[in-house]
Amino acid sequence: MSGTHAHTVPYVAETHYPAEPAPVSTTGPIAWLRENLFSSWLNAAITLICLAFILWIVPGILDWAVFKSVWHAKSLSECREIIVQTYGEGTTGACWAVIHERLGQLLYGFYPVDQRWRPDVTLLLLITAMIPLLFQTMRPLVVVMAALIGVKILIAAYLAVTENTLGSLFGPTTIVAIVIGGLAYFFGDTHHRTRWLVFTIVFPILAYFLLWGGIILEPIPSSRFGGFLLTMVIGVTGIAGSLPLGILLALGRQSKLPILRLICVTFIEFIRGVPLITLLFVASTLLNYFLPPGTNFDLILRVLIMVTLFASAYMAEVIRGGLAALPKGQYEASDTLGLTYWQGMRLIILPQALKISIPGIVNTFIGLFKDTTLVAVIGLLDPLGLTNPIRSDANWNGIVWELYGFIAFLFFVCCWGMSRYSMYLETRLRAADRR
Amino acid sequence: MSVATGAPPPTFRIDMLWRDERYRSGFIQAIAMIILMLGVAWLVNNTIENLSALGKDFDFGFLWQSAQYDINQRLIEYNNQDTNARAALVGILNTLLIAVMGCVSATFLGVVAGVLRLSKNWLIARLMTVYVETFRNVPVLIWILLVAAVVNESLPSPRAFRGVDTGAFVATNRGFYIPAPILDAGGGIVVGIFLASIVALIIVRRWARKRQDATGEQLPLFWIGLGILLVPAVLAYFVLGMPIRLEYPELKGFNFGGGIYMRDSLVALWLALSLYTGAFISEIVRAGILSVSHGQTEAAAALGLRPNRAMRLIILPQALRVIVPPLISQYLNLTKNSSLAIAVGYMDATGTLGGITLNQTGREMECILLLMGFYLIVSLFISTVMNIYNSRVKLVER
């Protein structure tokens, strides 16, 4: 075979040469650096400027927030004294003592201290109610509950060492966590999901009973709700209420009935055209005028109504986008099958339209969750509303970064988690499309 | 089986209202209309009863009464003897001021951050991601309050500048001072000439484009444009003896005088709103640039266009079609978010009409109605602009 060629071609390879490794300059960390950081003079300059910026800012922040911070003190001036004594004149550090002292308030507002297990249990039940909506199996719930019990044990161990008490290791939260975790571990497969969804439907009633009290639990007026508890109550209610309302409004806006459409369009455009703060003003000052004389229900319920209406208008627009993106053939197909309007919507149109609009829906949720901070402006004591009394307290006068930083961090964790979840869902649904 | 299906029985039964296609839509709409009317009537009736029980009426006369309060940041003349209506006008102008300032700087920030997030440089792309995620995931009200608190607590008070040469820009805890342009006699002429040369520039560009369409020849438009824009104004400036000068802020007594004064609340609101909205805009810009397929760049190169021309003629027009609609809705969001000014004491429309005027006159109904009306007009105006733009750039399909 090679013999014939050997006479006509100057060189013929007769053996197989093993592949050479790629040149060092195109693989490995050096090449990565060259490609991504120093590909041109301009890039190199940008990299160096960025590095300088990071080196300037990160050690400073770490130093301030971690290494030279104070966790136990009675006031800001005491904090500063401790820092100056320990690290020398002119050093500044974070005074996390304010968070340490006011943590209960920032999380629960003025909810009675001995009743604070109730919001805790409600939060656990909220997670339990949400997991079957968010995931296919209940396994994540096992992980969450196990992590929670682990954290509780760690805190108990810490308290046992420092304060010689076991703390609240055996409180209602732990019991509920163990029960739920156990149930999720043994009955957590996909075919049990429907039963967990039944719990999800019951949850709002349970949550209302737990938080506001009644029958056997001590009733708590909602004026004592505050801090992150209030944020969660407003955010979760708004999210849960705005989705069904938004779907109805979107369907109304798409409807062939002109009067219905006009009503929905007017409502949506009106709500979207005014800032939330004006709607909250309506809740705080005007809503009582619109109701029969003598009715006077509390501010938080009024705010809940307004926030839900506000979010539902935005939700309607997102879902309308999903409805509009469906090919007309789907509507025609459902008519051809002889389905009624509601059957067609429920079985054919909405499942697809909602799937398309998931990123938008989650974005609306994130926006709503962030917008709950606006209730501070009408005097409700959410975490931001609590910053004013804390900052005007003589002990903590002048505290800025620690307080806002902590609240911002809490919000960041929640919102960032939601946006990550939406990305995960998008990939999962795209995989379902690919087949 | 042989029974012929004739015309439907002509008798009208009551269940045909919701079972028969012919009557159903009318019936449902009539029901909806009746429910709506009843609801509105119920609300109006309640309101009238409640108002009369409180001895209040529904009257806009308070707008022409003296407002009795001061507004410390204003674009037009105002004192506390002026009417509530004028106070509201000052507030509305302040809202528009912060909206325009915020939109300009947020767009700038957003475009820079969006382009840099797509940079090949790994480090700066990551840095910009950190910026975007940090600002997008934390409520804007926290940013506003944080910036306001930092300005108030960490900047020096005006007194600290005593005996210090401050220069053109001063940052104090009461606000920022920047130089103010002062027009002396003849200054107006220079400004007029400058405005005239802008008009001339637009005309010349039109003419040059027509010429290019007709003959294919191109003019060095950039240099010609720069010349038209600057030369006449600069000449006039020197010929008339430099009639425009800058007035620097100076310490007078306990505070600064002269220059343009930007209150601390304005600065805080401006910074926070632009950083926050900028993060959203950068995502929009990034998505817009990514939406133009790579084939378009290659096609432009194959046609022999140089990279900057390809960007200007091929990529940008297509990316803008994706970018502009959400960008405008971000502008709308910024304008609505500017109502949070009330949290830092900047007197915008919410702070005057929905704040002090409301509290002093006790006319909640009227004030909030006017306030909502104002924001509705602004947002309707912005959506009209968006619709016009959308219909202009819409893809022309067969």
Residues of chain A positioned with their CB less than 8 A from the CB of B142 = 373, 384, 404, 407-408, 411
Q: What is the pLDDT of residue A434?
A: 65
CA dihedral A313, A316, A321, A322 (to 10 degrees): 150
CB B91 within 8 A of CB B349: yes
Question: How far does A117 lie from chain B, in Å, by closest CA?
Answer: 28
Q: What is the mean pLDDT of residues A159-186?
A: 77
Contacts B358 to A, Cβ<8 Å = 281, 285
* Per-residue confidence band for A34, with pLDDT thresholds at 50, 70 and 90: confident
Q: Is A430 a residue whose pLDDT tops 80?
A: no
Determine, for residues B375 and A411 on separate chains, whether the beta-carbon distance falls below 8 Å. no
**Whether pLDDT at B397 is above 60:** no
- Which of A35, A260, A272 lies nearest to residue B29, judging by beta carbons? A260
Euclidean distance between CA atoms B269 and B211, whole angstroms: 47
Q: Identify which of A100-114, A183-197, B126-140, B379-393 has the greatest average pLDDT.
A: B126-140
Give the Cα separation of A60 and A83 in Å (integer). Answer: 15
Q: So what's the pLDDT on residue B6?
A: 57
* The pair of three-digit structure tokens given for residue B17, joined into one six-digit string: 């209202």
Q: Do A416 and B133 touch (CB under 8 A)?
A: yes
Which is more confident, B157 or A102? A102
pLDDT at B279: 93
When pLDDT is averaged across residues A332-348 and rounded to a whole number, the result is 89
What are phi and psi for residue B255, nearest 5 degrees? Answer: -145, 170
Chain B environment of A275 (Cβ under 8 Å) = 336-337, 339, 350, 375
pLDDT at B1: 47
Q: Which residue has the tokens 């520039």?
A: B201
Average pLDDT over residues A255-259: 84
Beta-carbon separation of B133 and A376 below 8 A: no
Q: Is A411 on the interface with B (CB under 8 A)?
A: yes
User: What value does the mean pLDDT of chain A take?
Assistant: 84
Judged by CB atoms closer than 8 Å, whether chains meet at B120 and A400 is answered as no
Which region among A377-386, B350-359, B386-395 has the lowest average model confidence (pLDDT)? B386-395
The answer on pLDDT for A433 being more than 80 is: no
Cβ neighbours of A360 in B, within 8 Å: none
pLDDT above 90: percentage of residues in chain B: 21
A contact residues 163-222, partner B, Cβ 8 Å cutoff: none
Task: Give chain A positions within 8 Å (CB) of B145.
Answer: 384, 387, 404
Q: How many residues are there in chain A?
A: 435
* Rounded distance between C-alpha atoms, residue B138 and residue B145, angstroms: 12
pLDDT tens digits along B308-353: 788 888 888 888 888 888 888 899 999 999 999 888 888 888 888 8
* Chain A neighbors of B32, CB-CB under 8 A: 257, 259-260, 263
Q: Find the mean pLDDT for residues A303-317.
A: 92
Name the band, by pLDDT with cuts 50, 70 and 90, for residue A46: confident
Q: How many CB pairs under 8 A join A and B?
A: 151
- The pLDDT value recorded for residue B105 is 94
Tens digits of residue pLDDT in B257-278: 666 777 788 888 999 999 999 9
Distances (CA, A) of B383 to A318, B276, B379: 17, 22, 6
Those residues whose C-beta lies under 8 Å from the C-beta of residue A354, and which sit 6 or more positions away, are A247, A319, A322, A361
Our CA-based measurement puts residue A219 at a distance from the nearest CA of chain B, in whole angstroms, of 30
Distance from the Cα of A318 to chain B's closest Cα (Å) equals 13
pLDDT for position B162: 67
Asked whether B358 and B118 are in contact (CB, 8 A), the reply is no
What is the rounded distance in angstroms from the CA atom of residue B66 to the CA atom of residue B356? 13
Chain B residues whose beta carbon lies within 8 Å of the beta carbon of residue A272: 379
Average pLDDT over residues A203-210: 85
Which member of A35, A286, A370 has the closest CB to residue B368?
A286
Average pLDDT on A32-42 reads 79
Write phi, then psi, for B175 (nearest 5 degrees): 145, 180
User: Using the beta-carbon criterion (under 8 Å), do A260 and B153 form an inter-chain contact?
Assistant: no
Confidence of residue A368 (pLDDT cuts 50, 70, 90): very high
A203 has pLDDT over 90: no
Question: What is the pairing mode between strands B244-247 and B260-263?
Answer: unpaired
> 102-131 in B: which are within 8 Å (CB) of A?
119-124, 127
Share of chain B residues as helix, strand and coil, in percent rounded to the nearest 5 = 70, 5, 25
Number of Cα atoms under 13 Å in the Cβ half of residue A193: 14
DSSP codes joined into one string, A101-158 = HHHHHHHHBT--GGGTHHHHHHHHHHHHHHHHHH-SSSHHHHHHHHHHHHHHHHHHHH
Confidence tier at B10 by pLDDT (50, 70, 90): low
**Residue B172: in which H helix or E strand, if any?**
strand B170-172
* Smallest Cα distance from A286 to chain B, Å: 7
Task: Please report which helix (H) or strand (E) contains residue B245, including its range.
Answer: strand B244-247
Is A43 part of the contact surface with chain B (CB cutoff 8 Å)? yes
The rounded mean pLDDT for chain B is 83
What's the whole-model pTM score?
0.85
More confident residue, A20 or B19: A20
The residue that leads in pLDDT, B221 or B204, is B204
pLDDT tens digit sequence for A116-145: 888 888 888 888 888 888 777 778 888 888
- Binned at pLDDT 50, 70 and 90, residue B395 comes out as low
Please report the ipTM that was assigned to this predicted complex: 0.85
Rounded to an integer, what distance in angstroms lies between the CA atom of residue A48 and that of residue B306?
30
Which of B43, B139, B372 minimises the CB distance to A278? B372
Q: For residue A391, give the chain B residue with the closest CA.
A: B149
Determine the residue of chain A that is closest to B344 in CA distance.
Answer: A377
Mean pLDDT across the stretch A195-223? 83
What pLDDT score was predicted for residue A1?
Answer: 47
Task: Please check whether residue B145 touches A, CB under 8 A.
Answer: yes
